[in-house]
Amino acid sequence: MGARPSLEARQVARAAAQWLALLESGAANEQDRADLQRWRASCASHEQAWQQVEVLRQRFAELPSALALASLDRPQPGRRAVLKCVLGAATVLPSAWLLSRQLPLEAWRADLHTATGERKQVMLADGSALQLNTASAVDVDLPSRRLTLVEGEMALKVPRASSLTIHTRHGQISVSDGELCVRQEPRGCRVSVYGGTVGVQLLQGPEVTLRGGQRVSLQAAGVGAVEPFDVLQPGWREGVLLAQNQPLGEFLRELGNYRPGVLRWAPELESLHVTGSFRLEDTDRVLALLAASLPLEVHSRTRFWVTLLPRKKNVG
């Protein structure tokens, strides 16, 4: 298996795919094309990524559409075969294929996974309740009492008679008769315990015990400080995004995890603050609520390309 792309490389690749999606949508204007040229010229890695997009675009242009869809007509059992069908169908639109590649391939092959904006709840055979947040993937191996968080965020409630170990890129978490959330982040892994007792251990190092109302981060440098948090606050498991005097830029970056496509905003909006409880099933409504309560406007080129700008002052 090849090395995992860096966070910066994945962000550049995703940006290139988003530019391609805008061009393919037919909604791009001359200003957009000028912005694309500036983006390409601003960094050598941007231009390199765009050249790769152009090569891929040409290959897809030469591919008959019937060939791209042929795999859907063949009965191919098995998870890897399903993956082939998904990627084959995506070749009809190269930007969709590029965007899908921003999740590691193992995420697409995982036993359970969610798309952007999707949340899923599964009852495991041992009675444990598993929830997946947006754009997440988990492998399940109950005979070995093991779950592997491949990407994203999961919540797990384990009954008294059972025990499970959660494996992450930075360490493992042991839970019996407990409830917790585990979130994979670019530089570490955040563990939040809602009930019971949980053991947290780096790949090499001693185990740290956490109890309900405590959370910690696992990083390459070690286990971070144990912090308290309010277990009664609603969160993504209840379909809620909660903000308490939160910088708007930070809030929008989190909201963007639940929206397919592009969400951009003017830099001067970063310093605004937002407070409220927002339902995740309708992120368009969340943006409308922000526009109603803050001095900003929502500009939508398409459902999948949205920009927030400062509200224009009325000239009397």
What is this structure's pTM?
0.69
Q: Are 133 and 113 in contact (CB under 8 A)?
A: no
Q: Give per-residue pLDDT as tens, 283-296.
A: 999 999 999 999 99
Specify the higher pLDDT residue, 98 or 154: 154
What's the CATH fold of domain 118-228?
Jelly Rolls (2.60.120)
Q: Give per-residue pLDDT as tens, 67-120.
A: 333 333 334 444 444 444 433 433 345 555 555 444 455 566 778 988 888 999
Q: Examine the pLDDT at 59 and tell me if it is beyond 80.
A: no
Looking at residue 230, its amino acid is D
Q: Are 269 and 248 in contact (CB under 8 A)?
A: yes
Mean pLDDT, all residues of the chain: 80
Which architecture, in CATH terms, is 236-310? 3-Layer(bab) Sandwich (3.55)
Taking residues 203-225, what's their average pLDDT?
85
Question: HEC profile for the chain?
Answer: CCCCCCHHHHHHHHHHHHHHHHHHHCCCCHHHHHHHHHHHHHCHHHHHHHHHHHHHHHHHHHCCHHHHHHHHHCCCCCHHHHHHHHHHHHCCCHHHHHHHCCCCHHHHHCCEECCCCCCEEEECCCCCEEEECCCCEEEEEHHHCEEEEEECEEEEEEEEEEEEEEECCCEEEEEEEEEEEEEEECCEEEEEEEEEEEEEEECCCCEEEEECCEEEEEECCEECCCEECCCCCCCHHHCEEEEEEEEHHHHHHHHHCCCCCEEEECHHHCCCEEEEEEECCCHHHHHHHHHHHCCEEEEEEECCEEEEEECCCCCC
**What pLDDT does residue 53 have?**
75
The CATH 3.55.50.30 portion of the chain extends over 236-310
Taking residues 164-186, what's their average pLDDT?
92
pLDDT band at 234 (very low <50, low <70, confident <90, very high): confident
The CATH 2.60.120.1440 portion of the chain extends over 118-228
